[in-house]
Amino acid sequence: MSDVGKRAAGEAAAELVEDGMRLGLGTGSTVAYFLDALAARGLDVAGVPTSEATAARCRELGIGLLDTAGVARLDLCVDGADELDHALQLTKGGGGALLREKVVATLSDRFVVIATADKLVDRLCDTFALPIEVVPFAVGPVTRSVQGLGFEASVRMRGDAAYRTDNGNAIVDARCDGGVDDPAVIDVTIGLLPGVVETGLFIDLADLALLGDDNGEVTRVTTVGEPDR
């Protein structure tokens, strides 16, 4: 998919924002279009960024920032996804911000996912690896345990060094040939491994997906799996 679909989804999400809202601000290339469209509307809003990159972009655009220490609830979270299925279960974390993204999503009254139409899949963790945030000390044991569950697992690298998240942790990427049968079970099973901080499976969190295509059209998918243009 081209950037046309990303832009269309981001701009559609910006139209859902109302003056005075407190927002969860996701991370990634599709969210960048959302932030641009949001800033252009000139609303009095502020949000909690899910990454240092998003925080920096908000400062450039003049979007106010909030901190989780002083926020009990957020009105709306807008974020991207690496994959989503027809029940709006998600795989996230390709950009390494999965922990902060999940914290912010759980604080939000409504969670809207923006992505290109090709991100909609029948089974998660097949075409895109599942990111798992792990404390550095536990990378070896966690990688072997995840492999023991039937995944192909490897430590994410940046050049010659292990990748580090904004929180200073490592990422183990896990792929399952054919996808997973029950994402919720996998989320709990991997999440209980000692040293795992968080998984990139977002279960029962999303309320709406806005999926843009190469023609600039946006399909709305709800939690009941019914598309509506």
Q: Which of 160, 132, 136 is nearest to 147 (CA)?
A: 132
Could you tell me the residue range of the domain that residue 152 belongs to? 130-199
pLDDT tens digit string along 186-201?
Answer: 999 999 999 999 999 9
Catalytic-role residue among 18, 60, 83, 101: 101
Query: What pTM does this model have?
Result: 0.95
Residue 1: is its pLDDT beyond 90?
no
30 plus 102 within the same structural domain = yes
Q: Which residues pair with 163 in a beta bridge?
A: none
In this structure, the answer to whether residues 208 and 100 fall within a common structural domain is yes
Residue 68 in this model has a pLDDT that exceeds 60: yes
Confidence of residue 227 (pLDDT cuts 50, 70, 90): low
Average pLDDT on 51-75 reads: 97
Domain match, 12 and 100 both = yes
Q: Phi first, then psi: give them for residue 172, nearest 5 degrees.
A: -105, 125
Q: In this predicted model, what pLDDT tens digit does every residue of 85-126 receive, in sequence order?
A: 999 999 999 999 999 999 999 999 999 999 999 999 999 999
On average, the pLDDT of the chain sits at 96
With a CB cutoff of 8 Å and minimum separation 6, the contacts of 142 are: 132, 134, 172, 193, 194, 195, 196
156 and 220 share one domain = no
What is the model's pLDDT at position 224?
61
Predicted confidence (pLDDT) at residue 228 exceeds the cutoff of 90 = no
Confidence check: pLDDT of 137 > 60: yes
- Catalytic status, residue 101: yes
99 shares a domain with 7: yes
The pLDDT of residue 132: 99
pLDDT at position 197: 99
Q: What is the pLDDT of residue 63?
A: 99
Q: Are residues 78 and 18 in the same domain?
A: yes
Total of domains in the chain: 2
- pLDDT for residue 223: 76
Residues 114 and 16 in one domain: yes
CATH number at residue 194: 3.30.70.260
Same domain? For 14 and 77 the reply is yes
Residue 220 has pLDDT above 60, yes or no: yes
Q: Kindly state whether residues 15 and 99 are assigned to the same domain.
A: yes
